[in-house]
Amino acid sequence: MRAALVAARAVDTARLTVGVEEEFLLLDPATMENRPAAPAVLAALPADVQHLSRREFRHSMIEMVTPVCTGLDEVGSHLRLLRTAAARSARSAGAMLAAVGATPVGEPERAVTDDPRFRAIADHYGPVVDDPAVCGCHVHVGVPDRELAVQVCNHLRPWLPVLQALTVNSPFHDGRDTGHASWRAMQLDRWPTLGPTPWFASAEDLDRTVELLVASGAMLDASLILWHARPSAGYPTVEIRVADTCPTTGDAVLLAGLARALVATAVDRIGAGHAAPQIPGHLVRAAHWNAAHAGLGGTLLDLRQGRARPAWDLVGDLMHTVTPALSRSGDLPLIEAELTRLRTEGPGATRQRDAFARSGDLRTALALTGVPDGSLIDR
C-alpha cells in the first residue's frame, strides 16, 4: 500500500488518459441472426482506420479501438469516425453493424476465428465456447504504476455495478425477452475467470492468485484475467470491462467519462491514505447480478451501506463522489447532460424493450441497435 500511496501522489488526476474499445455484432438485416461477415467487413475498412480494428472471437464480431485520448470530445470524435467507417464496411458486406451486448436472435455459425489463442481457449473450455457471441465496451484509463493500478481496482469494486446498470444493452436472446437487462452478463457468468474483480493486497498478491488459477485449470493462462476491472497486461492502464456495448456514442462517452472520474477519485483517495473496503466477493457478485437483471428499472445493492436502494439514488451517489474529479477535468457539464438524457430515455435495454412494446416486432426493436453509416447522425 505504501508504494501505491507514493505513486498516487505523483499522478495528475486532472489529466488521465482514456481509450475505448467497442465490440460490435454483425447481423443479417433480414433475419437479425448473426452473420459471419467479419473478414469481409475488416477488409473493407478504409486504410486510415484499419490499424484501429481487431478480429474478435467469432466471425460475427469486430472490434474498433480509439487511440489514446486526453479529452472526452476527442473520445467522441474517434468513436463517431470508427462507428461510421465500420457501419459502411458492414453494409458493403451485406450486414448490419449492431451496437448490442448479446446475440439477440441466433448464431448459426459458431466456429471461433482462426487464431491460435482463440483455438486454445475453445479446446480448453469446451461447450462453454458454443454460447452465442457477446459484445462489450471496455474503457482504459491511464494509471502508470502497477501497484497503484491494483489498489485502484480495489476502490472501484463498490461502483462497478452502478456503471453496469447504466450500460445494460442486451435484453433479447433466442428471439425473445430474457427478463434480464444484460443477457451478456448472464452468459459470461459461465466462464470461471470473468466477473467481479477480487480484492488484492498488492500486485504480488494478484500474481500469486493468478498462478493458482492457472494451476487449477480455471484460467488457461495469465492473459485470461478478464475481471470487470483489471490492471491491463499490455498497457499502463486500468481496464474497466463491465459494460455491454453502448447503443450510441453518447452512451459510450458517458461511460468513458464516469470511468475516468472513478479512477481519478480512487487515485486521490489512495494518495490521501484511504484503503478500499474489503467487501465480500459473494456480495459483489450479487450486486452485479442485480445490476445486469434490473438495470436502472428497480433497486440496486448498495455495497457501502449493505442494503438495496433505488437505482437512481445510487447514480446520484456516484455523481456526488466523482463530481470533484469531473470538475477538474472539465467533463462535468457533458456528463450531467448525458445523464439527464439517459434518465429520460433509459439505457439501451429499456429503449429496445420500449420499441418492441410499441411495434410488436423484434426487428423494429433491434433496428435501434444498428449503427448509422453516415446517412444519419449518431448522438
In angstroms, what CA-CA distances link 199 with 90, 151, 227, 274, 301? Answer: 41, 9, 11, 15, 18
DSSP labels, 41-76: HHHHS-HHHHTTEEE-SBTTEEEEEPPPBSSHHHHH
What is residue 375's predicted lDDT score, i.e. its pLDDT?
A: 52
pLDDT in tens, 320-337: 999 999 999 999 999 999
| 3-state DSSP helix/strand/coil % of the chain, to nearest 5 | 50, 15, 35
pTM exceeding the 0.95 threshold for the entire prediction: yes
Identify which of 270, 244, 265 has the alpha carbon closest to the alpha carbon of residue 255.
Answer: 244
DSSP string, 266-318: HHHHHHTTPPPP---HHHHHHHHHHHHHHTTSSEEEETTTTEEEEHHHHHHHH
The pLDDT assigned to 378 comes to 43
CATH for the stretch 2-367: 3.30.590.20
Which pLDDT belongs to residue 290? 98
Strand partners, 134: 102
What pLDDT sits at residue 316? 98
Which grid cell is 323?
Answer: 463530481
Q: Residue 260: how many CA atoms within 13 Å on its side-chain side?
A: 32
CB atoms near residue 347 (< 10 Å): 25
- Residue 376's pLDDT is 44
Q: Where are the domains of the chain?
A: 2-367
CB 242 within 8 A of CB 137: no
Q: Which element (helix H / strand E) includes 79?
A: helix 72-92
For residue 138, list its beta bridge partners. 21
Instruction: Report whether 128 contacts 224 (CB < 8 A).
Output: no
Burial class (CB in 10 A: 0-12, 13-18, 19+), 98: buried
Q: Could you say which residues of the chain have pLDDT below 70? A: 1, 374-379
Q: Can you give the pLDDT at residue 369?
A: 94
User: Between 72-92 and 249-271, two packed helices, what is the crossing angle to 10 degrees?
Assistant: 140
Residue 19's DSSP bridge partners are 140
Q: Please give the DSSP secondary-structure letter assigned to residue 187.
A: H
Which grid cell sits at 69? 485520448
Percent of the chain topping pLDDT 70: 98
